[in-house]
Amino acid sequence: MPLPLQALRNSPPPIVHVRGRSFMALALAPEPPLAAWFVELDEHLAGAAGLFTNRPMVVDLSLAAAEGRDAVLILLDGLESRGFRIIGLEGASPGLLEHTHWERLPTQLYGREAPTPVNAAPPRIGGELIEGPVRSGQSVVCEAGDVTIVGAVASGAEVIAGGSIHIYGALRGRAIAGIREGAQARIFCSRMEAEMVGVDRLYRTAENWGAQLHGRAVQVRSDRGALRISALD
């Protein structure tokens, strides 16, 4: 029976608050042969001393599981001894880690898939440069900094950046800037035909801006809590 509205209003405020929060965790997918993989990992670590210590880490075992249970246990101990804090496992078959202390780790993880690389440019420090068009259905995510795209962003494609987004071409899809940088980030594009633009939690869809901006070079920024889109030409 539905509670009368009055009863709801009078009920005491809840004491337990369950909230969702997202965290950044590193994800590693060790590949057999594991000995060679560890050699490579150690080389990486030597080049970035301290960068990975105490970092939360999710280990994808889908490739390593083929090596058997013992190899997986050695692998996980090996990672822990290097200072990684393993907080979750992926790709492990149910019985694989039974009766070990790894058993308690969560194996059902929900998160955004790693973005599909577009034209596989290596990530650059503080940002990313994408050559050529970003096609419908593709998603460019760079939380580290600015994204520069030389070419068009198609309808149905999306670009998400920690900093600003620069598009030397038509923006026909979505662009969200300022995931990290916040209100200082901006979006620039040489031709505005976007479906949606957003900066720092503010967003607007195409029906909210006038036809006079369509097809023009514009910048999008967050101005005292409002999203401002203005022509550059």
Partner 1 sequence: MSKVMVVTSGKGGVGKTTSSAALGAALAQAGQNVVLVDFDVGLRNLDLILGAERRVVFDLVNVVQGDAKLPQALIRDKRVETLHLLPASQTRDKDALTPEGVERVIGELRERFDWIVCDSPAGIEKGATLAMRHADLAVVVANPEVSSVRDSDRIIGMLDSKTRRAEAGEKMEKHLLLTRYDAGRASRGEMMKVEDVLEILAIPLLGVVSESPDVLTASNLGFPVTLHNPAAPAARAYSVAAKKLLGEEVRAEPAAKRGLMSRLFGRRAAA
Binding residues vs partner 1 (CB under 8 A): 116, 119-120, 132-133, 135-138, 151-152, 154-156, 170, 172
Compute the distance between CA of residue 55 and CA of residue 83 in angstroms, rounded to an integer: 8
Angle at 20 between CA 15 and CA 26, to 5 degrees: 140
Query: Among residues 88 and 151, whose Cβ is nearest to partner 1?
Result: 151
Compute the distance between CA of residue 153 and CA of residue 160 in angstroms, rounded to an integer: 12
Q: Report the nearest approach of partner 1 to the CB of residue 169 (Å).
A: 9
Residue type present at position 166: H
Query: Among residues 30 and 173, whose Cβ is nearest to partner 1?
Result: 173
Q: Report the nearest approach of partner 1 to the CB of residue 156 (Å).
A: 6
Q: Report the nearest approach of partner 1 to the CB of residue 34 (Å).
A: 24
Q: Report the nearest approach of partner 1 to the CB of residue 122 (Å).
A: 13
Query: Among residues 120 and 125, whose Cβ is nearest to partner 1?
Result: 120
Q: Report the nearest approach of partner 1 to the CB of residue 1 (Å).
A: 45
Q: 54-76: b or e for each residue (b if 16 or more CB lie within 10 Å)? A: eeebbbbbeebbebeeebbeebb
Q: Angle formed by the axes of helices 69-81 and 34-47, to 10°?
A: 10
Angle at 127 between CA 231 and CA 48, to 5 degrees: 165
Compute the distance between CA of residue 52 and CA of residue 87 in angstroms, rounded to an integer: 14
Compute the distance between CA of residue 98 and CA of residue 108 in angstroms, rounded to an integer: 16
Query: Among residues 33 and 137, whose Cβ is nearest to partner 1?
Result: 137
Query: Among residues 172 and 221, whose Cβ is nearest to partner 1?
Result: 172
Q: Report the nearest approach of partner 1 to the CB of residue 132 (Å).
A: 8
